[in-house]
Amino acid sequence: MWQPDPAWQRLPGGRGSGGLWLASDGDKPWVVKRLVAPLPGDPASLRDPGHLGYWRREADAALGAALDGPGLDAPDTGRVEEDSSGVTLWTGAVAVEELPGPFVARALGRFAAASLPDAAWLCLHLLADRLAITESHDGWPTLARTTLADVADALWRRRHAFLAAYESLPAGPAHGDAVPSNFVARSGADAVAVDWSCLGRAPLGADLGYFSLSGREDFEVLLEAYLSGLASVGVAAAVDEVVLAARTIAVFTVLSRAEWALARAARGEGALAAKFRHPSVAPHLRALQRQFPQIEALLGI
């Protein structure tokens, strides 16, 4: 059975993987990521190359895609070691710096001109896959116990129509997991990005909407930067279409995150409303409050 070298230093992060470590090989530091192969009885989606949850997409990207911009660059790939229980991926360690939100948003826009291989392992229906996972957990039943019940119900009942409109929009390359912690350094006008496990194609604006949930800046500031990134690489996009894609993925993602946090808290004793200030719940509710303008716009309120 595979085991990490005892000399490696365990790193935080690596959610959904078998772990992250800092290792040395010669004079160069490396980040080692373990990808664990599905076991019998695990969801079939883990073995579906096109599904969001495909277990080895990051290794396939390292082997088959030149992720060197424009917009986003990947750290240097070292070794990709396969065995019967998974894949061990070595990538060059990067000196991490905090990047301004508009810089990342512009880089995400520029990435729309990147060249990706025509590969089966690209994630093509990221939002649909996430909504299907939410459906398998009966939607948003805990939100139905809050003052947002009517809004959540209206969005959930119309989810297929919103998804169809979203997937009809012009698409391009997308990182797929555009959270600030995955953009770790500058490389000229590009951002060095890690965690390519959701790499694929998505409507222009999808990465922007996902990033806006965690970014410090207002949506309009990030939108302006994203559009400037698109323009800088000659990608023509209608502003209203970019906004619709960003708005759709942001709204459905933030509500699903709030449902997840509230559902976990609801298992304990006491009234649900008393748990809104809990440290595991409050950040998700604050993020949800920030999206009220987007929710109203999506519903046409």
pLDDT tens per residue across span 200-217: 999 999 999 999 999 899
User: In angstroms, what CA-CA distances link 229 with 111, 138, 178?
Assistant: 8, 38, 15
Report which of 229, 201, 193, 243 is spatially closest to residue 68, judged by C-alpha positions.
193
Residue range 41-45: average pLDDT?
Answer: 94
Spatial separation of the C-alpha atoms in residues 256 and 159, rounded to whole Å: 12
53 found inside a domain: yes
Mean pLDDT, to the nearest integer, of 76-103? 94
Q: Which of 193, 27, 190, 195 is nearest to 94 (CA)?
A: 193
Q: Within 10 Å of residue 147's Cβ, how many Cβ atoms? A: 9
Residue 185 lies in a domain: no
Q: Is residue 36 part of a domain?
A: yes
> Distance of alpha carbon 165 from its chain centroid, rounded?
20
Asked if residue 15 has pLDDT above 80, the reply is: no
What average pLDDT does the structure give for the chain?
Answer: 94
Give me the domain span that covers residue 17: 9-92
Q: Is residue 183 part of a domain?
A: no
Residue 15 lies in a domain: yes
What CATH number should be reported for the domain holding residue 70?
A: 3.30.200
**85 in any annotated domain:** yes
- Number of structural domains in the chain: 1
